[in-house]
Structure 1
Amino acid sequence: MTAMNDGFTFDTAWGPKLTGEGAEFRLWAPSAPSLELAIGDAGGKPVDFLPMEKDDAGWWRLSTGRVGVGGAYGFRLDNGMVVPDPASRRQFGDVHSLSILTDPKSYRWTTPEWNGRPWEETVFYELHTGTFSDDGTFAGIEGKLDFLKSVGVTTIEILPVAQFMGRRGWGYDGVLLYCAHEAYGGDEGLKRLIDAAHSRGLSVFLDVVYNHFGPDGNYIGAYAPEFFHEEISTPWGPAIAYDEEPVRQFMIENALYWLGEFRFDGLRLDAIDSIKDTTETPLVEELARAVRKTFPGRHVHLTSEDDRNIVWHIERGDNGQPKLISGEWNDDFHHTIHVLATHEKEAYYADYTRKSVSQLAKSLATGFVYQDDFSPVRDKKIGHASDELPPTAFVNFIQNHDQIGNRAFGERLTDLASRRIVECAQAILLLSPQIPLLFMGEEWGETHPFCFFTDFHGELGDAVREGRRAEFAKFTAFHAADTRELIPDPNSPTTFAASKLDWSVLERPNRRVRLEQVKRLLKIRHEKIVPLLKHIPKRSGSYYTSPETLAFAVAWTLQDGKVLHLFANLSDDPWPMPNALTKADLTSGELVHSYPSDADEMLATGTLPASSVVFRLSDQFLISGVAS
Structure 2
Amino acid sequence: MPLRTLETWPHGAIMLDAQHTRFALWAPDAFYVSVELESGQSVAMLPQADGWFETEIKCPAGTRYRYNVDGEREVPDPASRAQADDVHGWSVVVDPLAYPWQHANWQGRPWHEAVIYELHVGALGGYAEVEKHLPRLAELGVTAIELMPLAQFPGERNWGYDGVLPYAPQSSYGTPEQLKHLIDSAHGHGLAVILDVVYNHFGPDGNYLGQYAQGFFREDVHTPWGAGIDFDRREVRDFFLDNALMWLMEYRFDGLRLDAVHAIDNPGFLQQLAQRVREQVETGRHVWLVLENEFNQAGLLERDFDAQWNDDGHNALHVLLTGETDAYYSDFATDTTAKLARCLSEGFIYQGHTTRHGHARGEPSGHLPPSAFVLFLQNHDQIGNRALGERLHQLCSPQALEAATALLLLSPMIPLMFMGDEVNAREPFLFFTDHHGELAEAVREGRRNEFADFAAFHDPERRERIPDPNALETFRQSAPVFVENAHTELYRHLLKLRHRHITPHLPGSVALGAQVLADGAVTARWRLGNGRVLQIDLNLSASAVAHTAPAQIIFATPADQGAHLPPHSARVSLFPVGEHP
Normalising to structure 1: TM-score of the pair? 0.90
Q: Is the 8 A contact 1:9 1:260 kept in 2?
A: no
Question: Which region of structure 1 is more displaced relative to structure 2, 181-190 or 256-265?
Answer: 181-190
Following TM superposition, by how much is the alpha carbon of 1:297 offset from its aligned partner in structure 2, in angstroms? 2.3
**Which of 291, 298, 302 is matched with 2:289 structurally?**
302
Q: Please list the CA deviations of residues 489-527 of structure 1 after superposition, one character each: whole Å capped at 9, or x if unmatched.
A: 000001001101113xx1xxxx51110110000000000
State the AA in 2 paired with 1:381: A
**Which of 107, 111, 115 is matched with 1:119 structurally?**
111
Aligned to 2:64: 72
Distance in 1 (CA, whole Å) between partners of 2:312 and 2:411 is 15
**Aligned Cα root-mean-square deviation (Å):** 1.5
Q: Is the 8 A contact 1:94 1:166 kept in 2?
A: yes
Distance in 1 (CA, whole Å) between partners of 2:87 and 2:186 is 28
**Which of 578, 591, 594 is matched with 2:553 structurally?**
591
2:122 is paired with a residue whose SS is: helix
Structure 1 runs of 4+ aligned residues shifted over 3 Å read 6-11, 620-623
Aligned to 2:298: 311
Distance in 2 (CA, whole Å) between partners of 1:143 and 1:181 is 19
Q: Does residue 458 in structure 1 map to residue 437 in structure 2? A: yes
Aligned to 2:416: 437
Q: Please list the CA deviations of residues 375-422 of structure 1 after superposition, one character each: whole Å capped at 9, or x if unmatched.
A: 1x2212211111010100000000000010001001110100010011
Question: Which region of structure 1 is more displaced relative to structure 2, 342-351 or 549-558?
Answer: 549-558
Flag structure 1 segments of 5+ consecutive residues without an equivalent. 1-5, 42-46, 316-322, 624-628
Distance in 1 (CA, whole Å) between partners of 2:132 and 2:560 is 39
Q: Please list the CA deviations of residues 540-587 of structure 1 after superposition, one character each: whole Å capped at 9, or x if unmatched.
A: 2301113x432111011121321110111112221113xxxx7xxx53
Matches within 5 A, 1:187-336: 187-277=176-266, 282-295=268-281, 296-315=283-302, 323-336=303-316
Following TM superposition, by how much is the alpha carbon of 1:80 offset from its aligned partner in structure 2, in angstroms? 2.0
Aligned to 2:448: 469
Distance in 1 (CA, whole Å) between partners of 2:578 and 2:316 is 28
Distance in 2 (CA, whole Å) between partners of 1:598 and 1:452 is 42
Identity %: 44
State the AA in 1 paired with 2:175: G
Closer/same/farther in 2, CA of residues 7 and 397 from structure 1, 3 Å limit:
farther
Distance in 1 (CA, whole Å) between partners of 2:4 and 2:416 is 30
1:409 is paired with a residue whose SS is: coil
**Which of 537, 540, 543 is matched with 1:570 structurally?**
540
Q: Is the 8 A contact 1:9 1:257 kept in 2?
A: no
Following TM superposition, by how much is the alpha carbon of 1:355 offset from its aligned partner in structure 2, in angstroms? 5.6
**Which of 144, 148, 151 is matched with 1:162 structurally?**
151
Q: Does residue 95 in structure 1 map to residue 84 in structure 2? A: no
Q: Does residue 447 in structure 1 map to residue 436 in structure 2? A: no
State the AA in 2 paired with 1:64: I
1:282 is paired with a residue whose SS is: helix
Q: Is the 8 A contact 2:32 2:71 kept in 1?
A: no
Closer/same/farther in 2, CA of residues 10 and 441 from structure 1, 3 Å limit:
farther
Following TM superposition, by how much is the alpha carbon of 1:9 offset from its aligned partner in structure 2, in angstroms? 5.8
Distance in 2 (CA, whole Å) between partners of 1:554 and 1:496 is 40
Aligned to 1:344: 324
Distance in 1 (CA, whole Å) between partners of 2:3 and 2:573 is 44
Following TM superposition, by how much is the alpha carbon of 1:123 offset from its aligned partner in structure 2, in angstroms? 0.2
Aligned to 2:485: 512
State the AA in 2 paired with 1:17: I
Q: Does residue 22 in structure 1 map to residue 8 in structure 2? A: no
Flag structure 2 segments of 5+ consecutive residues without an equivalent. none
**Which of 32, 49, 54 is matched with 1:56 structurally?**
49
Distance in 1 (CA, whole Å) between partners of 2:3 and 2:377 is 35
1:429 is paired with a residue whose SS is: helix
1:252 is paired with a residue whose SS is: helix
Following TM superposition, by how much is the alpha carbon of 1:7 offset from its aligned partner in structure 2, in angstroms? 8.0
1:462 is paired with a residue whose SS is: helix
**Which of 119, 144, 158 is matched with 2:133 structurally?**
144
Aligned to 1:616: 573
Aligned to 2:512: 541
1:438 is paired with a residue whose SS is: strand
Following TM superposition, by how much is the alpha carbon of 1:354 offset from its aligned partner in structure 2, in angstroms? 6.2
Q: Please list the CA deviations of residues 212-235 of structure 1 after superposition, one character each: whole Å capped at 9, or x if unmatched.
A: 001111111111111111221110
1:552 is paired with a residue whose SS is: strand
State the AA in 1 paired with 2:79: A
2:68 is paired with a residue whose SS is: strand
State the AA in 2 paired with 1:366: E
Following TM superposition, by how much is the alpha carbon of 1:622 offset from its aligned partner in structure 2, in angstroms? 3.6
Normalising to structure 2: TM-score of the pair? 0.97
Aligned to 1:320: none
Aligned to 1:400: 379
Aligned to 1:13: 10
Question: Which region of structure 1 is more displaced relative to structure 2, 190-199 or 230-239?
Answer: 230-239
Q: Please list the CA deviations of residues 458-493 of structure 1 after superposition, one character each: whole Å capped at 9, or x if unmatched.
A: 000000001111111122221221111000000000
Q: Please list the CA deviations of residues 319-361 of structure 1 after superposition, one character each: whole Å capped at 9, or x if unmatched.
A: xxxx211110000000000000000011010111366311111
State the AA in 1 paired with 2:329: Y
Following TM superposition, by how much is the alpha carbon of 1:365 offset from its aligned partner in structure 2, in angstroms? 1.3
Q: Is the 8 A contact 1:555 1:621 kept in 2?
A: no
1:560 is paired with a residue whose SS is: coil
2:50 is paired with a residue whose SS is: coil
Q: Does residue 499 in structure 1 map to residue 478 in structure 2? A: yes
Question: Which region of structure 1 is more displaced relative to structure 2, 358-367 or 109-118?
Answer: 358-367
Q: Does residue 34 in structure 1 map to residue 32 in structure 2? A: yes
Question: Which region of structure 1 is more displaced relative to structure 2, 253-262 or 560-569?
Answer: 560-569
Q: Is the 8 A contact 1:7 1:261 kept in 2?
A: no
Aligned to 1:319: none
How many aligned positions are there?
576
Distance in 1 (CA, whole Å) between partners of 2:335 and 2:426 is 27
Distance in 2 (CA, whole Å) between partners of 1:223 and 1:355 is 52
Distance in 1 (CA, whole Å) between partners of 2:417 and 2:173 is 22
Q: Is the 8 A contact 2:217 2:230 kept in 1?
A: yes
Distance in 2 (CA, whole Å) between partners of 1:195 and 1:369 is 38
Q: Please list the CA deviations of residues 186-226 of structure 1 after superposition, one character each: whole Å capped at 9, or x if unmatched.
A: 21110000000001111000000000001111111111111
1:561 is paired with a residue whose SS is: coil
Distance in 1 (CA, whole Å) between partners of 2:456 and 2:219 is 37
2:538 is paired with a residue whose SS is: strand
Q: Is the 8 A contact 2:11 2:25 kept in 1?
A: yes
1:425 is paired with a residue whose SS is: helix
Following TM superposition, by how much is the alpha carbon of 1:48 offset from its aligned partner in structure 2, in angstroms? 3.1
Distance in 2 (CA, whole Å) between partners of 1:235 and 1:207 is 19
State the AA in 2 paired with 1:587: P
Distance in 1 (CA, whole Å) between partners of 2:379 and 2:260 is 14
